[in-house]
């Protein structure tokens, strides 16, 4: 959801004449939303501008975004950085995230019910956004 | 201007190419359908899609531009600096970059908490990296303030309420280009 929110504000800013670059890790959400410039790093959600503690990688990703600001000439320009999250098992995190199988089906149903209760309570006491 | 130096694409010893019945990168839109159905939501979420995309060219050389950072992370409740809204629901905010250096709060957002963490600010809000590029003259300046936007299921609230507010702060701060980082 963060990626959609950022995609929507990037679109607003471009329409207002402010050039934008998005650095993110949910490629489909950003590209479907449609932004001018996008630096994609194929990492688990949470570290779109580089691995924790890896200043060199952070610098390269941020630098790539700056390059893109200067060099893109059409909207929907996506650049993918070369980094790999886990060289030994790069499908492990992908398969684990948001998985649905028999091991967690009951827990997801319960989580959904708890979430709906929280949302109803938030709406009732004014913590939910309504305008 | 030389492009940023970056390593060559590497396979790290793994077979680089092959055949797959699906994309190599995750489709969060595809995954979310089954995931939220399993939570008991009968209708799939309607993600934003646009065919047309605006494109604003740089108004001047990047080395003369002020860059504004936009994040979906917020200050921890009760630890907001002066001037940042404390009430819930979340509202967009502008805050000094210096006030974020100890890190922001994002445990309430949806990201991969099993595989990584957000204890290093520059992995999701690269204030320090952009300040280095400012020192080197690659950008004109990093705006003294950065901007926070609430993650919202409502496209309308993001488009009509939150985005114009942040645009307004950017104009007050003389921001020329926006660098946006979703979590």
Confirm whether A129 is domain-assigned. no
On whether residue A126 sits in a domain, the answer given is no
Residue A37 lies in a domain: yes
How far is CA A55 from each of CA A45, A51, A59, B70, B143, rounded to the nearest angstrom? Answer: 18, 8, 6, 20, 21
Q: What residue ranges do the domains of chain B occupy?
A: 62-181
- Taking only Cα atoms into account, the Rg of chain B, rounded to an integer number of angstroms, comes to 19
B14 falls in which pLDDT band (50, 70, 90)?
low
Helices then strands (H, E): number in chain B? Answer: 4, 5
Ramachandran assignment for B16, one of left (phi > 0), alpha (psi -120 to 50 degrees), beta (any other): alpha
Domain membership of residue A56 (yes or no) is: yes
Q: How sure is the predictor about A119, in pLDDT bands with cuts at 50, 70 and 90?
A: confident
Tokens of A52: 């924790």
In a domain, A113, yes or no: no
CA distance A119 to chain B (A): 12
Would you call B180 helix, strand, or coil by DSSP? strand
Q: How confident is the model at residue B13 (pLDDT cuts 50, 70, 90)?
A: very low
Task: Tell me the pLDDT tens digit for each residue of A55-114.
Answer: 999 999 999 999 999 999 999 999 999 999 998 888 889 888 899 999 999 999 999 999
| Mutation target vs A (from B10, B20, B38, B77; most A CBs, 10 A cutoff) | B38
**Residue A23: is its pLDDT beyond 80?**
yes
Looking at per-residue confidence, does B53 or B2 come out higher?
Answer: B53
pLDDT digits (tens, 9 = 90+) for B105-137: 988 888 999 899 999 999 999 999 999 999 999
Residue A131 CB partners (closer than 8 Å, separation 6+): B157, B161
pLDDT digits (tens, 9 = 90+) for B47-80: 999 999 999 999 999 999 999 999 999 999 889 9
| Min distance B46 CA to chain A CA atoms (Å) | 11
A27 in a domain, yes or no? Answer: yes
| Residue ranges making up the domain that contains A44 | 2-84
Number of domains within chain A? 1
Q: Which of residues 96-125 of A touch B (CB under 8 A)?
A: 96-98, 100, 105, 108-109, 111-113, 115-116, 122
């Amino acid at each position: 959801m963060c990626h959609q929110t950022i995609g929507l504000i990037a679109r607003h800013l471009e329409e207002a004449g402010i050039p934008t670059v998005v650095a993110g890790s949910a490629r489909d959400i950003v590209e479907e939303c449609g932004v001018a410039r996008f630096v994609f790093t194929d990492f688990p959600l949470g570290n779109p501008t580089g691995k924790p503690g890896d200043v060199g990688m952070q610098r390269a990703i941020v630098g790539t975004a700056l390059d893109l600001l200067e060099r893109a000439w059409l909207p929907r320009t996506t650049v993918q950085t070369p980094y790999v999250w886990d060289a030994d098992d790069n499908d492990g995190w992908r398969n684990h995230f948001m998985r649905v199988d028999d091991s967690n089906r009951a827990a997801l149903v319960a989580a959904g019910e708890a979430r709906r209760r929280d949302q109803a309570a938030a709406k009732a006491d004014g913590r939910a956004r309504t305008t | 201007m030389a492009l940023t130096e970056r390593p060559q694409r590497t396979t790290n010893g793994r077979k680089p190419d092959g055949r797959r019945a699906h994309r190599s990168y995750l489709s969060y839109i595809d995954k979310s359908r089954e995931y939220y159905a399993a939570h008991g939501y009968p209708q799939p979420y309607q993600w934003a899609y646009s065919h047309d995309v605006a494109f604003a060219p740089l108004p001047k050389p990047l080395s003369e531009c002020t860059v504004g950072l936009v994040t979906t992370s917020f200050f921890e409740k009760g630890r907001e600096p002066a001037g940042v809204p404390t009430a819930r629901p979340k509202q967009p905010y502008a805050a000094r970059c210096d006030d974020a250096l100890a890190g922001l709060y994002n445990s309430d957002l949806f990201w991969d908490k099993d595989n990584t963490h957000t204890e290093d600010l520059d992995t999701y809000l690269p204030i320090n990296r952009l300040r280095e590029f400012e020192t080197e003259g690659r950008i004109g300046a990093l705006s003294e303030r950065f901007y926070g936007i609430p993650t919202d299921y409502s496209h309308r609230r993001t488009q009509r309420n939150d985005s114009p507010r942040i645009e307004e702060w950017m104009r007050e701060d003389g921001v020329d280009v926006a660098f946006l980082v979703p979590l």
